[in-house]
Amino acid sequence: MLARRFMKNSLGRVKSYEIAKKSINMKPRFISFNSNIDKFKIKPTPPGGVIGDVNQAYKPPEADYFHGSYHWLYERSIAVALLPLSIYSIFTAVTGGVAYPMIDVTTGLSALFYLQYEYLSCITDYIPKRKFQLWHNIAKSLLYSGSAVAAYGLYDIHTNNNGFTNLIKKTFVDDESNLYIFGRY
């Protein structure tokens, strides 16, 4: 009676004694990672690229203003706007002209948006969602988080330092504060 009470609790559940008794009779089980790694595997595409039945009606994709031809238009307009802005920033940095903060911020943000569009195009072309679903989502998440870190870096450059143009100026022009030609230090 005491042994039975030890094996079962008040709700009638089996205690560890019976579980151990059952596990002795079981065959050894080897560790298998197949079920955990399946989501990382590449999904095979159906033959001919046809998904579904041939007789199903065609469902056109919904209009998305951030992809397709609109995406290319945004990318080209940012590239065209970036050319004079970057030339102005480099010219101002080298000649020591006046660097206006709004032009400086516009240069940094347009460079960031342009690079994000380009990397997003690479991810869309070379890591298609249809085949590499998990890796596509990971790559896009890394791109967006990297863009957020870069945007914070631009904010930090513009608030704590003198801006993007001053960063270019420090790159091209040597620091001459410790240069003494005819004087003593």
* Known binding-site residue numbers for a ubiquinone: 126
Nearest in space to 126 (alpha carbons), one of 140, 114, 113: 140
Nearest in space to 105 (alpha carbons), one of 148, 165, 168: 165
Between CA 138 and CA 24 the distance in angstroms is 43
Q: What are the Cα distances from residue 139, in Å, to 41, 96, 112?
A: 15, 40, 17
CA angle in degrees (0–180, nearest 5) for 80-150-116: 45
Which residues are known binding-site members?
126
